[in-house]
Amino acid sequence: MSPRLVPSIRVRLTAWYTLVLCLMLVLYAGATFVTVRHEFLEQLDDDLHEDFETAEGLIVRTPEGGFARASDRHYDPDNDDDRGTDVWAASGEQIYRSRASGALPPPALNAAATEPRYESSVANGSHWRTLTRTATVGGVAVVLRVARSEDRLRAQLWEILTVLVLGLPVVAVFAGVGGYVLARRALTPIDRLASEARRITADRLHERLSVPNQRDEIGRLAAVINETFARLEASFDQLRRFTADASHELRTPLAVIRGIGEEGLGETRSPAEYKEAMGSMLEEVDRLTTLVDTLLRLSHGDAGTVRLAREPVDLGQLTRDVVSSLGILAEERNQRITVDDSDRVVAAVDRLVLREAVTNLLDNAIKYGPAGSVIDVRARLDGDQAVIAVADQGPGVAAAHRARIFDRFFRLDEARSRENGGTGLGLAIAKWAVEEHGGRIDVDENPSGGSVFRITLPLTAPVDAAKHVHRHQLSGGRS
């Protein structure tokens, strides 16, 4: 069915409601009719039974041995159009025949049949109900049949049926109209929500749907939609901030390159000066490349296209590897790095992704720790968690900044970070890498001055770890 032909919920609800109601009504009317008919017939049979008892005294034996109608009876079957009494002798000869029921076919005579026999039959277009049984008149067995016309009863049943059948379409119409009005009333708030939601476009994401009653279904739906808008708004804001920050970060090295170029073109210089200018330009290009690479890796992370290649990794060994690759930087600053990996901690992690996180932490500890300071790196077990901690003796991170320090491009000291070649993305990458492993990263005060960055990882790998078999695109350490 084309979408245009699909009826609205309102119409479908009304149709279903009417259909179900009509079905129930048909069933109800059918059951009512069958019950009433049964009751009527039972009543008729009871009446026949009474008639039979009356009729038993109607025929008497004459002294001559024949049969005659008792004259003292008030009831005269010959004067009744709806009732009749007929009597047969055992021999089959009809002893008595009343006017109304006389046209009915005689019963199959059996003088020995003592059980009452109720039957329905037709004569001259009229329906009759009869009761036939043997009776004893003056010591002689006869077959006695009483009859009552079913015509009036049938007419009454017919009337009842007509009322029931004719009433059905009327009820269906009322049910349809009522159902439609109800469905419209019930669905109007949804239409309102839809038109309100349509008005909330990307540049009006701060607006929300009105929630008249939080507790009913529509209110809950509106609340859920509002929550979705809130999340959308947060993502939009984050994206806007990120784009603005990224543009800003990209412009700085570009401006420097331009400056150097303009300066170089300004007046004739010696080859050595040109060489130096080109060297500076290349440095800025390297900076740009690093920045763009990091941004690309983060965007892969955001898109969820990075798959972890988990394997059992000795975290003590991993920290030792990182320390030995960054050791030269610490040496330049006369810093000492100690490693404590006395706990043997093995976790199912992606070696390269986690290594990058640890590298970024150690790199920061070296960058921000003062010359000659000590940096302690530790891999240890904490219950069912693995913890990698990097403690430095640097300026530390004020409590107010601890929540934001892992945000992209967030820097406490912009000039210093830049001077150290920082992009403001190192901690954001570390956070992403750790969270991708189901862990968390935080920063605390180092009791001996400075800060402690801590990575906490669950030792039991998430169930879907086996799915993460593809080699990720996030590789290599921080340049």
- Rounded to a whole number of angstroms, the distance between the first and last alpha carbons of the chain is 59
Q: How many residues bind ligand ADP (CB under 6 A)?
A: 22
Residue least distant from ligand ADP (Cβ) = 422
Q: Convert residues 250-289 into a mask of x (bound to ligand ADP by CB under 6 A) and - (unbound).
A: ----------------------------------------
For 224, the 3-state DSSP assignment is helix
Q: In the structure encoding, which two tokens stand for residue 191, read together?
A: 């239409």
Beta pairing class for 336-340 and 374-382: parallel
CB of 232 to ligand ADP, least distance (A): 26
Question: For ligand ADP, which is the closer residue by CB, 229 or 368?
Answer: 368
CB of 372 to ligand ADP, least distance (A): 16
Among 451, 455, 461, 474, binds ligand ADP (CB under 6 A): 451
> Phi and psi of 126, rounded to 5°?
-105, 145
Report 337-376 residues binding ligand ADP (CB under 6 A).
Answer: 360, 364-365, 368
Which amino acid is residue 167, in one-letter code?
G
CB of 449 to ligand ADP, least distance (A): 11
Of 364, 333, 336, the C-alpha closest to 452 is 364
CA–CA separation, 452 and 449 (whole Å): 9
Per CB under 6 A, 446 contacts ligand ADP: no
CB of 427 to ligand ADP, least distance (A): 3
The H-or-E segment that residue 330 falls in is helix 315-332
CB of 186 to ligand ADP, least distance (A): 53
Q: Convert residues 395-434 into a mask of x (bound to ligand ADP by CB under 6 A) and - (unbound).
A: x-x-------x----xxxx---x----xxxxxxx------
Residue located via tokens 């036939």:
132
Binding segment for ligand ADP (CB under 6 A), chosen from 77-85, 155-163, 223-231, 390-398, is 390-398
CA–CA separation, 301 and 322 (whole Å): 22
Of 109, 101, 103, 113, the C-alpha closest to 147 is 101
**What is residue 406's DSSP assignment?**
T
> Phi and psi of 405, rounded to 5°?
-65, -25
CB of 366 to ligand ADP, least distance (A): 9
Residues forming the site for ligand ADP (CB under 6 A): 360, 364-365, 368, 392, 394-395, 397, 405, 410-413, 417, 422-428, 451
